[in-house]
């Protein structure tokens, strides 16, 4: 229903549009973000009283600031001196004997008011929703819009949750939940409304996941005939022994490849846990079955790193590999296109260039994507069109507890690698409350003198007038000058051309550069075993998982590794996070801590991961509801497939998937 039904001004309509509200439905789903509870309170920190004005208000100005003071008496005969700032316009309403309601703090019968309501307490007492609004619409006006929208749409508010589950979980119905979230009489009303709304959106999400998974399994896949003896021989000849978790992940993936259904598996593991070798084994299994494999990375640097790593794994095999990225010349690309098309290339590594229209595969059977939790619909279609029943493995180094991963990525099977390969060093991490290297300069010089290499990470490439942070260019110039004639300093950032990045990285790998000043482009894709010190400027500007990813670049050899988190601008909350990293090396624990502080959208990336933007649910705080909804969704899908139960709910979800072009017949 269009907003014209509000019968308001075009200016107000424009403001609503600016709030992403385009329909009457959008209005009722624009929920309050908090509630003000107004009731008589003599708590000195949160005082709310009804009182009568007994003195003429006096106003004092200092520049544009104003302070108004007057005296009142409450219904118990208590006298108070009231002061309120920048509300001098209220003076004309505060005549003697006027009854008002005062909100504020009190000390020694002196109230510093945060607000004054020109009504008795009985007229305004209750629970008042507070909405996120833009200038031009106040709380009262928006509340009236909500009431109007609810009246018009009430009969169309169909309860998505089947009655059986309403009864099972003691839920209110949807129309009641919507009304009470906006117009509650009690705090219990809010609690029950949120309970229904959270469950409904989690159930809808889980039904979508389960339907997607079911439909994928219904597709006719191809069971790959893998020579397991040759695969085991390949594993036995690796230069190291697989960890228990790596072995389990390999078994799960190989089992999937052998099934006549498409594989869609999520492989997560901590930094340095050895996900790449698991991917390599899966690619080799695919090759043994007569299919081509592809590994897609989000950046050219990471694609190059994977290409080099896989080349080492496969150097004693007959596998022909290629690296396909956007920076190749047209001649080089065409040569690779031809070899992919005729099957001369068995495994290709690259960026999104792997799935452009010009790229055709002879027999693509397996795709790995790294650090891209989930593809969009169009990308998924592009991948499917490149082969017959292509199997997918999605790798991520932002690990979360397995139970949460299963709940969030319900349309995928989940493999988890927790144990690290033998010999991986823990990185000694220290938070330094400083903006310069002075406190650690002595250690840095001694470390460089011993033959080690060092990363220096900065949040920005160039200086910023708005932000007081050290830029990579600024640090590079200072360090180049300081260490001139002793050590070579390199500068790496995203604005460089790809061949320039590759050249600088190769110099660092070859120890021609001893200090690499960089932005976060080294977060993934760099493996230099001789580099075992990292200094991170303005560490407060990075998320914890990102800092953990960064320090994962060091400690990859047998030497002791050091990571210094430098910040002199950290808030108390940021200091707490940085101190936490000093003692914690477990990426799963760090991710959970980060998720709680910043939320899943920030840590996992809503756009990259496909995470939904829940209106009221929180995947961490409301995990119990999310888990229950997952179990209920599974039951409902099974009952629908076997007995056509819950048809109204599930077919409604199917229609939404089709509208969004996500449903696969």
Q: Worst-scoring range by mean pLDDT, 23-32, 224-233, 234-243, 543-552?
A: 543-552
Q: Is 107 exposed, middle or buried (0-12, 13-18, 19+ CB in 10 A)?
A: exposed
* Mean pLDDT, range 322-326, rounded to an integer: 91
- In this predicted structure, what is the pLDDT of residue 226? 95
C-alpha to C-alpha distance for 516 and 456, rounded to whole angstroms: 6
Q: Indicate the pLDDT class of residue 615, thresholds 50, 70 and 90.
A: confident
584 closest CA partner among 555, 628, 548, 629: 548
- In this predicted structure, what is the pLDDT of residue 42? 93
C-alpha to C-alpha distance for 73 and 35, rounded to whole angstroms: 28
Q: Indicate the pLDDT class of residue 214, thresholds 50, 70 and 90.
A: confident
Which tens digit of pLDDT belongs to each residue from 224-233? 999 999 999 9
Sheet with 531-536, side-by-side order of all strands: 427-432, 561-566, 531-536, 453-457, 515-518, 489-492
- In this predicted structure, what is the pLDDT of residue 422? 72
* Mean pLDDT, range 62-70, rounded to an integer: 93
Q: Examine the pLDDT at 150 and tell me if it is beyond 80.
A: yes
- In this predicted structure, what is the pLDDT of residue 178? 96
Q: Indicate the pLDDT class of residue 210, thresholds 50, 70 and 90.
A: confident
Q: Worst-scoring range by mean pLDDT, 131-135, 371-375, 625-629?
A: 371-375
Contact 296, 351 (CB under 8 A): yes
Which residues, in sequence order, are bridge partners of residue 415? 267
- In this predicted structure, what is the pLDDT of residue 497? 80
Q: Residue 347 phi/psi, 5° resolution?
A: -135, 130
C-alpha to C-alpha distance for 23 and 332, rounded to whole angstroms: 52
Bridge-based pairing of strands 453-457 and 531-536 is: parallel
What single DSSP character describes residue 88? G
C-alpha to C-alpha distance for 207 and 647, rounded to whole angstroms: 12
Q: What is the largest CA-CA distance in the chain?
A: 96
* Mean pLDDT, range 106-111, rounded to an integer: 95
Share of the chain above pLDDT 90, in %: 54
Q: Examine the pLDDT at 604 and tell me if it is beyond 70.
A: no
Q: Examine the pLDDT at 99 and tell me if it is beyond 70.
A: yes
What single DSSP character describes residue 206? H
R_g of the chain, CA atoms, integer Å = 31
C-alpha to C-alpha distance for 322 and 307, rounded to whole angstroms: 8
Q: Worst-scoring range by mean pLDDT, 66-80, 223-237, 376-390?
A: 376-390
* Mean pLDDT, range 125-132, rounded to an integer: 92
Question: How crowded is residue 358: how many other Cβ atoms within 10 Å of its Cβ?
Answer: 9
- In this predicted structure, what is the pLDDT of residue 610? 46
pTM reported for the whole predicted model: 0.72
Q: Examine the pLDDT at 660 and tell me if it is beyond 70.
A: no
Q: Indicate the pLDDT class of residue 628, thresholds 50, 70 and 90.
A: very high
Q: Indicate the pLDDT class of residue 347, thresholds 50, 70 and 90.
A: very high
- In this predicted structure, what is the pLDDT of residue 609? 45
Q: Worst-scoring range by mean pLDDT, 105-109, 386-390, 490-494?
A: 386-390
Q: Is 192 helix (H, G, I), strand (E, B) or coil?
A: helix
- In this predicted structure, what is the pLDDT of residue 379? 61
- In this predicted structure, what is the pLDDT of residue 662? 52
Which residues, in sequence order, are bridge partners of residue 337? none
Question: In this structure, is the dihedral angle defined by the CA atoms of residues 166, 167, 171 and 176, taken in order, positive or negative?
Answer: positive
Structure tokens at 627: 């888990």
Which tens digit of pLDDT belongs to each residue from 32-57? 999 988 999 999 999 999 999 999 99
Give, in order, the Cα–Cα distances in Å from 440 to each of 432, 554, 575: 9, 18, 19
Share of the chain above pLDDT 70, in %: 91
- In this predicted structure, what is the pLDDT of residue 6? 87
- In this predicted structure, what is the pLDDT of residue 34? 92
How far is Cα of residue 145 from the mean position of the Cα atoms in its chain?
33
- In this predicted structure, what is the pLDDT of residue 523? 55
* Mean pLDDT, range 14-22, rounded to an integer: 93
Q: Examine the pLDDT at 658 and tell me if it is beyond 70.
A: no
- In this predicted structure, what is the pLDDT of residue 82? 97
Q: Examine the pLDDT at 414 and tell me if it is beyond 90.
A: no
Contact 456, 479 (CB under 8 A): yes
C-alpha to C-alpha distance for 57 and 90, rounded to whole angstroms: 9
342 closest CA partner among 326, 317, 366, 322: 322
Question: In this structure, is the dihedral angle defined by the CA atoms of residues 308, 531, 479 and 489, taken in order, positive or negative?
Answer: negative
Average pLDDT along the chain: 87
Q: Examine the pLDDT at 375 and tell me if it is beyond 70.
A: no
- In this predicted structure, what is the pLDDT of residue 665? 41
Q: Examine the pLDDT at 616 and tell me if it is beyond 60.
A: yes
Strands (E), 411-495: 413-417, 427-432, 453-457, 489-492
Q: Examine the pLDDT at 392 and tell me if it is beyond 60.
A: yes
Of 543 and 440, which is predicted with more confidence? Answer: 440
Q: Examine the pLDDT at 607 and tell me if it is beyond 50.
A: no
Q: Indicate the pLDDT class of residue 486, thresholds 50, 70 and 90.
A: very high
Helices 228-236 & 275-288, crossing angle to 10 degrees?
150
Q: Examine the pLDDT at 218 and tell me if it is beyond 80.
A: no
- In this predicted structure, what is the pLDDT of residue 270? 81
* Mean pLDDT, range 326-351, rounded to an integer: 93
* Mean pLDDT, range 498-512, rounded to an integer: 84
- In this predicted structure, what is the pLDDT of residue 339? 96
How far is Cα of residue 344 from the mean position of the Cα atoms in its chain?
39
């Amino acid at each position: 229903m269009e907003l014209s039904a509000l019968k308001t001004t075009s200016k107000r309509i424009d403001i609503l549009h600016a709030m992403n509200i385009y329909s009457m439905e959008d209005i009722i789903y624009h929920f309050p973000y908090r509630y003000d509870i107004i009731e008589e309170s003599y708590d000195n920190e949160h005082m709310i009283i009804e009182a009568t004005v007994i003195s003429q208000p006096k106003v004092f100005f200092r520049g544009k600031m104003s302070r108004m003071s007057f005296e009142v008496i409450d219904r118990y005969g208590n006298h108070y001196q009231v002061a309120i700032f920048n509300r001098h316009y209220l003076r004309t309403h505060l005549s003697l004997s006027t009854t008002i309601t005062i909100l504020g703090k009190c000390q020694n019968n002196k109230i510093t008011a945060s607000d004054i309501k020109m009504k008795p307490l009985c007229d305004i007492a209750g629970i008042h929703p507070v909405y996120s609004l833009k200038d031009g619409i106040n709380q009262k006006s928006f509340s009236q819009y909500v009431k109007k929208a609810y009246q018009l749409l009430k009969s169309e508010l169909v309860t998505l949750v089947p009655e059986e589950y309403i009864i099972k979980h003691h839920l209110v119905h949807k129309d009641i939940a919507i009304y009470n979230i906006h117009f509650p009489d009690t705090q219990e009303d809010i609690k029950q409304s949120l309970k229904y709304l959270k469950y409904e959106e989690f159930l809808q999400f889980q039904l979508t996941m389960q339907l997607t998974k079911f439909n994928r399994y219904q597709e006719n896949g191809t069971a790959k005939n893998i020579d397991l003896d040759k695969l085991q021989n390949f594993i036995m000849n690796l230069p190291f022994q697989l960890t228990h978790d790596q072995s389990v992940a390999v078994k799960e993936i190989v089992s999937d490849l052998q099934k006549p259904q498409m594989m869609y598996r999520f492989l997560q593991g901590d930094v340095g846990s050895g996900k790449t070798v698991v991917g390599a084994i899966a690619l080799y299994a695919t090759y043994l079955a007569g299919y081509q494999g592809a590994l897609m990375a989000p950046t050219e640097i990471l694609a190059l790193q994977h290409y080099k790593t896989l080349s080492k794994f496969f150097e004693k095999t007959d596998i022909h590999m290629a690296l396909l990225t956007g920076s190749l010349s047209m001649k080089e690309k065409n040569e690779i296109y031809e070899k992919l098309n005729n099957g001369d290339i068995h495994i290709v590594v690259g960026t999104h260039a792997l799935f452009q229209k010009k790229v055709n595969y002879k027999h693509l059977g397996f795709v790995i994507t790294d650090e891209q939790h989930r593809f969009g619909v169009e990308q998924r279609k592009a991948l499917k069109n490149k082969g017959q029943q292509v199997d997918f493995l999605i790798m991520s180094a932002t690990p979360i507890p397995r139970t949460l991963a299963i709940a969030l990525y319900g349309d995928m099977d989940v493999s988890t690698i927790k144990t690290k390969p033998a010999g991986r060093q823990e990185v000694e991490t220290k938070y330094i409350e400083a903006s310069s290297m002075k406190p650690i300069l002595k250690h840095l010089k001694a470390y460089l003198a011993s033959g080690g290499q060092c990363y220096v990470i900065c949040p920005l490439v160039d200086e910023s007038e708005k932000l007081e942070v050290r830029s990579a260019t600024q640090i590079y110039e200072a360090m180049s000058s300081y260490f001139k004639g002793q050590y070579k300093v390199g500068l790496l950032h995203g604005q460089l051309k790809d061949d320039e990045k590759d050249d600088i990285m190769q110099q660092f790998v070859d120890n021609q550069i001893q200090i690499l000043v960089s932005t976060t482009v080294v977060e993934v894709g760099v493996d230099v075993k001789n580099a075992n010190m990292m200094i991170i400027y303005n560490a407060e500007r990075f998320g914890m998982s990102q800092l953990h990813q960064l320090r994962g670049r060091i400690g990859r050899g047998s030497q002791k590794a050091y990571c210094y988190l430098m910040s002199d601008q950290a808030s108390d909350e940021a200091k707490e996070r940085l101190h936490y990293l000093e003692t914690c090396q477990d990426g799963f624990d760090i991710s959970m801590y980060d998720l709680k502080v910043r939320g899943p959208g920030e840590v996992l990336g809503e756009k990259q991961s496909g995470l939904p933007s829940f209106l009221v649910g929180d995947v961490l705080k409301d995990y119990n509801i999310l888990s229950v909804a997952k179990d209920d969704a599974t039951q409902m899908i099974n009952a629908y497939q076997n007995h056509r139960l819950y048809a109204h709910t599930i077919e409604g979800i199917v229609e939404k998937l089709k509208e969004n072009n996500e449903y696969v017949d």
